[in-house]
Amino acid sequence: SCAESLSEMTFIAKTFYDLKATTLEGDSVDFNVFRGRVVLIENVASELNQLQSKYPHRLVVLGFPCNQFGYQENCSNGEILNSLQHVRPGGGFKPSFTIFEKCDVNGTNTHPVFAYLKDKLPYPDDDPSSLMQDPKFLVWSPINRTDVSWNFEKFLIGPEGEPFKRYSKKFPTIDIEPDIQRLSADPSCRDALQPW
């Protein structure tokens, strides 16, 4: 049946803390280690160092390179850090956050982290209707409304592991700061901080 084939396609974790991923260095990271901290996930690196350095104890920033959008990340996992340092953005850039192995964020081989995030936050809060501007860039299958539409989409997770908000590629990463501040506020205030 259709329901059976869909359930076989993508495993979706029950909680954020059930997830894990492998860093560029080959280390497996169990997301359970992020309990009590706000987590920002982006499918590439943009302005992430600035946020990580501003909130070193309250925020965990995780970068996931992806080659599904215009084949912009065509380096191997072993070349990504050198590329960041010398090419893009260059100038000796060194990430102060964790970068995981290159992965698919859409399609049949969607990484479990993105399967979970897209299930819990099906579209960006600031742009709920866009998918892709140019269909020739759709290089994965199946295509779903919840798909990440391009590099730089961001997902913010609260300190209790609750998916809080998804932001489009157009939303400047640095502008997420007020939400980070709200989520990392005194726990007694968190109930009043729900995004709805």
How far, in Å, CA of 190 to CA of 82, rounded? 40
Percent of the chain with pLDDT over 70: 71
In the block, residue with structure tokens 């400047």: 172
Q: Could you report the per-residue pLDDT of 111-146, keeping only the tens digit for each?
A: 999 999 999 999 999 987 776 666 666 667 767 788
CATH topology of domain 2-193: Glutaredoxin (3.40.30)
Do β-strands 28-30 and 20-22 pair in parallel, antiparallel, or remain unpaired?
Answer: antiparallel
71-104 confidence digits (pLDDT tens): 566 676 666 666 666 566 667 767 778 989 999 9
- Could you tell me the CA-to-CA distances from 46 to 43, 51, 95, 110 in Å, in that order? 9, 10, 10, 22
